[in-house]
A = this chain, B = another copy of it.
Amino acid sequence: MRILLVNPNMTQGMTDTMAAIARRVAGSRAEIVPLTATRGFPYIASRAEAQIAGGITLEMIADHVDSVDAVVIAAFGDPGLAGARELFDLPVVGMAEAAVVTAAMMGERYSVVTFSPVMTRWYADCVADTGLGSRFTGVRAPAEHDVRLDSVAQDMRGDLIALANRAVREDGADVVILGGAPLAGLAPEISGEVPAIVVDPIEAAVAQAMMLASLNARFDGRASRPIPKPSAGLSPALSRVIAMEALQ
């Protein structure tokens, strides 16, 4: 099984970290094919950026869709997810949505804890946009936002544990999602100090993508696939996907 790990952000280090975690999750069951955006932004954190990066995501998927079994859009906010599901005949998983449904199967209420107040609103929007957030109890972040992205997980370890404990005690969370690529990998390290289940979104997304691929569901022939269309200015591969006759 091959899983395409699309990082719609341009930061290669982020892709590397996530790919390493993905490979640990996949073990021998799947090959991880990581991809970093070559256009767009270093780190998506707004609707405007997600609008643009979502289009780039569709092009990245179109380039590799024929050689993989499932796709992970590896950014909270799931840029391009709904469009990718319409167009491509294979499972496409978003990081926010995968974290949300995984958390919802582990407990009744879940919170997001993240490393910077700058992300609070964006992450709350991301959860709301999944349409599945009825058991979500909010985002908690430190007041301080001057952080070094490559060391924030260790620099703020104590603060993050404290925030997770408040999410549990004050907000009633059974599950805490550690939001943001800089926190990837931290979940197992701190779970012993948090009285709740701790979820790493990239782990959840990769595991869900493999799970969906394993079901061998038939994706072609869907009536809800957009009607084939001409287009201009798109990458060749995406243009072909959009123009292609539906199979039904």
Contact = CB atoms under 8 A, between A and B. Distances in A.
A204 B212 CA distance: 8
B207 A215 contact: yes
A194 B105 CA distance: 28
Nearest to A109: B224
A224 B45 contact: no
A83 B211 contact: no
Query: Size band of the A side of the interface?
Result: 35 or more
A208 B245 CA distance: 33
B208 A49 contact: no
A230 B42 contact: yes
A33 to B, nearest CB: 20
Instruction: Specify how many copies of this chain sit in the oligomer.
Output: 6
B45 A214 contact: no
A93 to B, nearest CB: 6
A14 interface: no
B234 A105 contact: no
A131 B224 CA distance: 22
Interface string A111-142: 00000001001001000000110110000000
A197 B211 contact: no
A85 B106 CA distance: 7
A16 interface: no
A223 B168 contact: yes
A180 interface: no
A82 to B, nearest CB: 4
A13 interface: no
4 residue pairs, one from A and one from B, having the closest CB atoms: A39-B233, A48-B83, A46-B226, A195-B223
